[in-house]
Amino acid sequence: MRFYLAAYLGWIGSRPPAQFVSALRKEYPYLELQNEVTLNIGGANGFNNTHVFRSTKGTWTVSLKQNSFSIETSRYTEYAEMKSRALQVVEAASKIIDADFFTRVGLRYINAIDIEGDPVDGWVNASLTGPLLSQRFTGVNEYAGKMQLNAVDGGCLLQHGIRFKADQKSGEGRETWPEYVIDVDSFRTEVPLGDTSDALDSMHAQGFDVFDWALGDSAREYLSMEKVASKR
C-alpha cells in the first residue's frame, strides 16, 4: 500500500524541516537521507534530497521530497490504520507546505495472488485473463495489461499480470512459479488540504471496487474464509 501527495514544499536540504521531524519522531524514529540524481541528455542534470522516516519495525515508511511526500507499508492491516497514519503525515506536512492544496493525491494497492497451482484458474476475473484461459498459447513467460480510467477530478489505473517468483531449492537450483499481480492506483487532483480525508475515502472505495471486480470466484471464497476465521 502507498499513499502519496504532490505539492511544492519548498527547498528540502540535507536536513529535513524540524517541525516535520518533531511531529513524526514518536512513530518514525529512524531517519535516513537518500540522494536522487536525474540525468538529462543535452540538458541540466537534477539533484534531489529524499528524507526517509521508518517505523520501529520498519513496516511503515514516510518519504519526503521537494515536490511530494508519501507513506507506504509492507504489512497492510486495515484501512482505518492506514488513514490515521496518512492524516498524521498530512498534518505534519501542513506546517511546511507552500500551498493550500495538493496538486495530486494518490492511493495505491499492490496485491499478489500467490498460491500452489495456477493463479489464473478461477482466481482472477476471466475478463482480464481471457487469452491465457483460451489454451491457445503455451510457454507464456510474460503477460500484463493496463487500463486507465479517467474522471474530471482524477481517475484510476489498473495494472495486472503474471510475475514469476524464485525460490532457492537446495541441490536443485532455483525453482520458479507464477503469481498474479493486481495493482490498483487511484488518484485525485487539486485537493484542498482540508479535503484530504474525504479524498482518501473516495480513493479507497474506488480502489476496492476495482480490486473486487478483478477477482475470480476462488479468490472471493478464500477471502470469505479468512474473514470467518478471524471472527472466531
Domain co-membership, 158 together with 107? yes
Domain co-membership, 40 together with 6? yes
Q: pLDDT confidence of 42, banded at 50, 70, 90? A: low
Domain co-membership, 93 together with 135? no
Contact 40, 128 (CB under 8 A): no
Which of 81, 99, 117 corresponds to the end of one domain?
A: 99
Indicate the residue type of 4: Y
Domain co-membership, 130 together with 185? yes
pTM listed for this prediction:
0.84
44's grid cell: 541540466
Q: Give the pLDDT mean for 64-83.
A: 91
Strand partners, 146: 159
Q: What is the pLDDT of residues 166-178, one digit of tens each?
A: 765 545 555 678 8
Which of 62, 81, 99 corresponds to the end of one domain?
A: 99
Question: Per-residue pLDDT for 48 more than 80?
Answer: no
Mean pLDDT of the chain: 86
Domain co-membership, 108 together with 92? no
Which of 99, 120, 151 corresponds to the end of one domain?
A: 99
Contacts of 180 (CB under 8 A, 6+ apart): 112, 113, 119, 120, 123, 124, 129, 160, 161, 162, 163
Strand partners, 101: 192
Domain co-membership, 174 together with 68? no
Domain co-membership, 66 together with 137? no
The reported pLDDT for the residue numbered 45 is: 56
Strand partners, 191: 102
The reported pLDDT for the residue numbered 177 is: 80
Q: CA-CA distance, 44 to 130, in Å (whole number)?
A: 46
- Start-to-end Cα distance in the chain: 27
Domain co-membership, 14 together with 56? yes
Domain co-membership, 95 together with 121? no
Q: Which residue range is the domain that position 118 belongs to? A: 100-232
Mapping DSSP to helix (H, G, I), strand (E, B) and coil, where does residue 221 land?
A: helix
